[in-house]
Amino acid sequence: MQVNENTNFEPVIVAFCCNWCSYAGADLSGTNRLNYPTNVKIIRVPCSCRVNPMFILRAFQRGADGVILCGCHPGDCHYTSGNYFTRRRITLLYSMLDFLGIERDRTRLEWVSAAEGAKFAATMQEFTDAVRKLGPNRRLEDLRCRKQ
Amino acid sequence: MSDKLKEQILRSSGSNVLKCMRCGKCSATCPSYDEMEYHPHQFVYMVEKGDIEKLMSSDSLYKCLTCFACVDRCPRGVEPAKVVEAVRLAAVRRQGNNHLVPTDIPGMLDDDLPQQAIVTAFRKYTK
Amino acid sequence: MQRIGVFVCHCGTNIAATVDVKAVAEALGHEPGVVISREYQYMCSESGQNLVKDAIREHNLTGVVICSCSPRMHENTFRKAAAAAGLNPYLVEIANIREQCSWIHKDIASATEKAVILGKAAVAKVHLNAPLIAGESPVVKRALVIGGGIAGIQTALDIAEAGFDVDIVEKQPTIGGKMAQIDKTFPTLDCAACILTPKMVEASQNEKIHIYSFSEVTDVKGFVGNFTVTIKRKARYVDETKCTGCGLCTEKCPMKKVPNEFNMGLDNRTAIYIPFAQAVPKVATIDPNYCMMMKTGKCGVCSKVCSVGAIDYKQEDKFIEEKYGAIVVATGFNPINLDKYDEFAYNQCADVVTSLELERLMNAAGPNGGTLLRPSDKTHPHTIVFVQCVGSRCDDEKGKPYCSKICCMYTAKHAMLIREKYPDTEVYVFYIDVRTPGKNFDEFYRRAVEQYNVHYIKGMVGKVTPKSDGKIDVQASDLIANEQLHINADMVVLAAAIEPDKTARPLATMLTTQMDTNDFFTEAHPKLRPVESATAGIFLSGACQGPKDIPETVAQGSAAAAKAIGLLCKNSITCNPCVAHSNELMCNGCSACEKVCPYGAITYQDKEFRMPDRTTAIRRVASVNPAVCQGCGACTVACPSGAMDLNGFSNSQIMAEVDAICK
């Protein structure tokens, strides 16, 4: 089934970035004037392990079309081991999303260091394109929350 | 033309010539250096510049022994022998399908050449 | 009722060029709870800050949102401004509309829309911000320096000078490090020992400095201002307090065939040894792998000749625990192992040496007493070939991807010294680039070429072949002449790349500091905080942070000392109040949070609670030590009952941001 409104569809994308690596990486892509879509809005968290999978589900419930979680590279966590927790939690979340029938590609976990401004911009561009291709998130969105 | 050729050579060699830091260790280690008009480091540099025609018409192509000493010792992983091989391949491809032209054969004939070798060569180099 | 002020910064044209700041201020002014919404050209300027302060006082604000650059840039500035106006600094939120909006987008309409959404998210968050009061924790007035090379010595001396106690932990029997092995220093050609050994003596005589030689750090606990460090004092089988360093034992020891690591194995030492004459502390050490007494139980010569009875074959490793306020890492470097470079025949031929080995060969205290002789047959070399970048700037697993920085200069030094002392020697240097960025460095290199006639050849050595007549065939390319050369050499000197010491990686894990992929410690900011690690209270000195020459190492050592002194001067330090806390009424005592906490900040306590039916019950609940907690938030997600929450990034705050963005 083709959905016509896809043509003008602008996805809402929430990005959680850890304060020490990915948020700094996002700042660096700004400092280097590397362009990525305006669809991406960043929420700063101290560490990727602060992101409760609940936040991701909440975002989908409130109408986000994609959620990307960025943390320090494994072994580089400012808090030593936070990103390992994140990795396990997201793996578990994936199996739950599979169960719910949500496309896996709407959620992504990415390692971006403070020096990888270019990687941050490229990842966001690519993720936005991927979500745009998937179309709007309908399955998890709670229509009662939608603003009139 | 040259850009397309360069791209073809880069693709078939699988080598990234931009990684070269121009140390010349490939040429320092090359056993057929003195036989060659263009040396391994020049192959890398000239392919990068897109100056490939000179390489294709040079005998140096056939002097490389493909011993891979340069590949082993290149500190940057540029793999010069693969670049040489790719240029050689490009030169072979340019000859088209018929690598053996019938009118050329009498000149190449050797009395000692077995009949079978000629037949095999035909099979191998013509279509 | 919340009274929130929104302040939108133009940042000159940095923001205003792509974001319609007036529209942003207008849109955010209509958000619930917002009582004032202003824009200004430079919010971080004095007058911009005054604008914020006046608004806080005038409108009695309960929350402030600044739409400006990254919070990593000016969050502190605005928090201080809020505090000055009497508002709790943690009621300030920053919406990043520069780095994450105006600088990356070009279309004004969509950038403005995004800026409004980011502003709305910050307003939604600030609604839920709670005033936080930063706690304080005391600072132990003592510093630890790990590594006793020139970097560690300089740091320790500077900290001691400021009046604080410093301990140096050095894993070798003596301090001094690599500099003690070096013969001369560039570009002045003064003798390394002559400038280093007085500093070593100064360190040992300073009553504020305590040297733990032959010791290693095995455990680090705690946090900035209050580290607890376990130091392993390896058994040296000699009582340090009794040994006078007379050296009689080292003369009499019958086991004389032990490779001397101080001279890079180019000569031998005895099983009981003092590394070199100027060692500090000048105390003997027994090598248990070679000592006859330790191996067979038969000998004991050293204990017989020792007049003070310092020898103790039964000595064991001791562990001591000390408290420190600051830790400086100065673990230094080593040349890489060249075993994998078959083409240079380093393992096949004794006359192919590394540059550090050449230092020892040329040193007056070295194996040949300062006369340059070939290690194989002790004859004078007449042709010497230097090879640069052996293992440096390599893209493969054999070498290192970075430039080792010091090799160009020390090779110029070696070449110059050899030509000066032995003018009949031909010296060839094969280089890829000559890198001489330093004061008087290029002049030095030019002197080697112009005055000393050293043959610098642009090209690389491809193959080194030892020949049966004892000579060495060096096959190399000369890229300028476009020819392949064969040099009949007597010696080949390899400028091996340098790498961080092997002990650095486990140490970084203990210290919870970051390292790059090459095992160099990562500084907190590559430009503005070059001697601090990202972990508070841990400072970096010398080559453990990246390749450095001696002047740079000393400068960095002093800089690290200054940073450590700045910390030690304080009686207490302000803690980050954005830490976890548990709601004891909700906590069910499952211990899930305790297991994920990387700092051990969570403990469990039995507490008495009043129950609904007017009885009391004892329940096991989690409690967080705010001084130890670093605020990562791992526990908040692990908590099944939702009792654990993080100040400043609470569940409700993050969800409010999510909602604001998604709407």
When CB atoms are compared, the residue of A14, A49, A54 closest to C633 is A49
C396 touches chain B (CB under 8 A): yes
Closest-CA distance, C234 to chain B, in angstroms, reads: 40
What does pLDDT average to over chain B?
87
When CB atoms are compared, the residue of C396, C479, C484 closest to B75 is C396
Cβ separation of B27 and C479 shorter than 8 Å? yes
Cα–Cα dist C267/C273, whole Å: 13
List the single best residue of C435, C457, C460 to mutate versus B (max B Cβ within 10 A).
C460
Residue B1 pLDDT: 54
Residue C532 pLDDT: 92
Side by side, which strands form the sheet with A40-45? Answer: A40-45, A13-18, A66-71, A107-111
Residue C651 pLDDT: 94
- Which residue is associated with the tokens 């190399």? C476
Of C429, C351, C356, C399, nearest to C497 by C-alpha is: C399
Cα–Cα dist A95/A79, whole Å: 27
Residue C136 pLDDT: 85
When CB atoms are compared, the residue of C399, C482, C484 closest to B28 is C484
Residue C433 pLDDT: 95
Residue A137 pLDDT: 87
Residue C198, C-beta contacts closer than 8 angstroms, at least 6 positions apart = none
Work out the average pLDDT over B69-80.
93
Closest-CA distance, C385 to chain B, in angstroms, reads: 14
Residue B98, C-beta contacts closer than 8 angstroms, at least 6 positions apart = B125, B126, B127
Residues of B in contact with C463 (CB under 8 A): 28-29
Residue A147 pLDDT: 60
| pTM score of the predicted model | 0.77
Residue C91 pLDDT: 95
Which percentage of chain B shows pLDDT scores above 70? 92
Cβ separation of C477 and B19 shorter than 8 Å? no
Which positions 323-382 of C are in contact with A (Cβ < 8 Å)? Answer: none
Cα–Cα dist C217/C231, whole Å: 5
Cα–Cα dist C627/C629, whole Å: 6
Residue A2 pLDDT: 46
Q: Cis check for the bond before C281: say yes or no (omega within 30 of 0).
A: yes
- Which pLDDT tens digit goes with each residue over A15-63? 999 998 899 889 989 988 999 999 999 999 999 999 999 999 999 999 9
Q: Which burial class, exposed, middle or buried, applies to C608 when counting CB atoms under 10 A from its CB (0-12, 13-18, 19+)?
A: exposed
CB atoms within 10 A of CB C323: 15
What does pLDDT average to over chain A?
88
Start-end of H helices in C457-612: 504-511, 550-568, 592-596
C646 touches chain A (CB under 8 A): yes
Identify the segments of chain C with pLDDT beneath 50: none
Per DSSP, the three-state class of C284 is coil
> What was the ipTM of the complex prediction?
0.94
When CB atoms are compared, the residue of C71, C636, C658 closest to A62 is C658
Cβ separation of C460 and B76 shorter than 8 Å? no
Closest-CA distance, A120 to chain C, in angstroms, reads: 11
Question: What proportions of chain B, in percent to the nearest 5, are helix, strand and coil?
Answer: 60, 0, 40
Work out the average pLDDT over B15-44.
94
With CA atoms as reference, the chain B residue closest to C464 would be B29
Which amino acid is residue C8, in one-letter code?
V
Per DSSP, the three-state class of C492 is strand
Cβ separation of A45 and C633 shorter than 8 Å? yes
A5, pLDDT greater than 70: no
A4, pLDDT greater than 60: no
- Reported confidence tier of residue A7, pLDDT bands at 50, 70, 90: low
- Note whether A touches B: 3 CB pairs or more under 8 A: no
- Which pLDDT tens digit goes with each residue over C492-540? 999 999 999 999 989 988 887 778 889 999 888 888 889 998 788 999 9
Per DSSP, the three-state class of C657 is helix
Residue C480, C-beta contacts closer than 8 angstroms, at least 6 positions apart = C457, C458, C459
Residues of A in contact with C649 (CB under 8 A): 45-46, 50
Residue C221 pLDDT: 82
Cβ separation of C72 and A52 shorter than 8 Å? no
- Parallel/antiparallel/unpaired status of strands C472-478 and C483-489: antiparallel
Residue A1 pLDDT: 43
Residues of C in contact with A30 (CB under 8 A): 70, 98-101, 103-104
Residue C610 pLDDT: 87
Q: How far does Cα C531 stand from its chain's mean position?
A: 7
CB C289 within 8 A of CB C338: no
Cα–Cα dist C621/C603, whole Å: 8
Task: Report how far apart, in Å, the C-alpha atoms of A26 and of each of A19, A34, A52, B83, C104 are.
Answer: 10, 10, 21, 38, 10
